[in-house]
Amino acid sequence: MNSDLFSILVMQSFNGLSNFCVLLLMALGLAIIFGQMGIINMAHGEFLTIGAYTTYVMSVVSQTWAPWLLDAYFLLAIILAFAIAAGIGLLVERLMVRHLYERPLDSLLATWGLSLIMQQVFRSTFGAREVSPTLPGWLMGSVRPTDMIDIPINGLVVMGLTVVLTAAVLLALFRTRWGIEVRATTQNRVMAGAAGIDTRRVDRLTFALGCGLAGIAGAAFTTIGSTGPTSGGLYIVDTFLVVVFGGAESLIGTIASAFAIAQAQATTEFFMTGSTAKVLTLLTVILILMARPEGLFTVKVRK
C-alpha cells in the first residue's frame, strides 16, 4: 500500500513538473515585461494560444501536404511559435502598449480588451471546439523506472526544453549587453536613459521576447493538453500569481514560485478536487504575501 501511494505521489509530482514548465515559460516573459515596464498584460495568455495553434497548424500541414515532416515538425513549430508570437507582440507594443507605460490600470483594461478580441479571432478562425496536434512518434510512449511509475516522454522533452530556454534567458540577461540594458532600465529608467540607453528600444525588444516565450509555452502546452480559444486565459491568473509571489523583478523568484505553485496544486489535487486544491494554494500564497508583500525574492537597489 505504501509503495502504491509513493508511486502515485511520484507521478503526481511529475505532472506538477509538466505544469511547472508551461507556467515558467509563461512567467519568464511576463516577469521581464511587468518588472521592467510596469505593464499588466492581460493578453499574455493569448500569446500562449498563438503558439499552440501554430503547432496545431504545423501538424495539419505535415499530415496533409508534407508527411516527410511528421517527425520534425514539432521542432520547427517551436521556432515558428516563437517568431510569430514575438512578431505579433512587437506589433502590439508599437500600436498600443507603448502608449500605456507607467499607467498600470489603463494597461490592464486595454490588454484585457485585446485578449477578448484575440479570443474571438481564434474562435472565428479555428472554431470553438478544442483541437490537438498529432504528436510525432518520438514524443509518444513513456519511461518506466519501476513497475508502478510511468513517466511520459513528452513531459521529459518539455522539461528539457524549459531548462534550455531558462538557461538561455538567464545567460542573455547577465552575460550580454542587452541584458545589462534591461537590468539598468528595470532598476532606474531615468538614469539608464541618461547613460545613453535607448529605453524605448529595450522595451520593444523585451516585450517581443516575453511574447515569444509565451508562444514557446503554447507549443509545449500542446503536449499535455488540447487547445481552444480560451486556453491561454486559463493560465493568466496562475502566471501573474507566480510573478507576484516570486517577486516582480526577480527571475530566480519566478522559477522558485512557479515550482512551488505547480507542485502544490498537483499534490493537493490527489487528495481533493481540482477547484479546492486551487483555492487552498491561492489562500496559502495570499497568507505568505500578507507577511512578505514584496514576494519571495527581491532585487536590492541603491536608492
| pLDDT band, very low/low/confident/very high, at 288 (cuts 50, 70, 90) | confident
Q: Quick check: 133 and 222 in contact, CB under 8 A?
A: yes
| pLDDT band, very low/low/confident/very high, at 113 (cuts 50, 70, 90) | very high
Domain that holds residue 225: 11-127+150-230
Beta bridge partners of 227: 131
Rounded to 10 deg, the angle between the 233-246 and 274-291 helix axes is: 30
pLDDT of residue 302: 42
Spatial separation of the C-alpha atoms in residues 35 and 249, rounded to whole Å: 5
CA distances in angstroms from 197 to 3, 88, 184, 185, 300, listed in the order given: 58, 24, 9, 8, 21
Per-residue H/E/C for 201-217: HHHHHHHHHHHHHHHHH
Residue 7: burial class (beta carbons within 10 Å; 0-12, 13-18, 19+): middle
Q: Mean of the pLDDT values across residues 260-284?
A: 78
- For residue 251, being part of any structural domain is answered with no
Residue 207: burial class (beta carbons within 10 Å; 0-12, 13-18, 19+): buried
Q: Quick check: 23 and 261 in contact, CB under 8 A?
A: yes
- For residue 50, being part of any structural domain is answered with yes
Spatial separation of the C-alpha atoms in residues 70 and 2, rounded to whole Å: 42
- For residue 69, being part of any structural domain is answered with yes
Beta bridge partners of 152: 142
pLDDT of residue 7: 66
How many separate domains does the chain show? Answer: 1
Nearest Cα to 281, choosing from 7, 16, 25?
A: 16
CA distances in angstroms from 50 to 44, 76, 140, 277, listed in the order given: 10, 15, 23, 28
Residue 93 has pLDDT above 80, yes or no: yes
Residue 255 has pLDDT above 80, yes or no: yes
- For residue 291, being part of any structural domain is answered with no
- For residue 166, being part of any structural domain is answered with yes
Residue 80 has pLDDT above 50, yes or no: yes
- For residue 95, being part of any structural domain is answered with yes
pLDDT of residue 12: 67
Q: Quick check: 243 and 148 in contact, CB under 8 A?
A: no
Q: In this predicted model, what pLDDT tens digit does every residue of 140-162 receive, in sequence order?
A: 877 777 766 778 888 888 999 99
Give pTM, 2 decimals.
0.89
- For residue 245, being part of any structural domain is answered with no
- For residue 270, being part of any structural domain is answered with no
Q: Scanning the structure block, which residue is given the C-alpha cell 516575453? A: 210
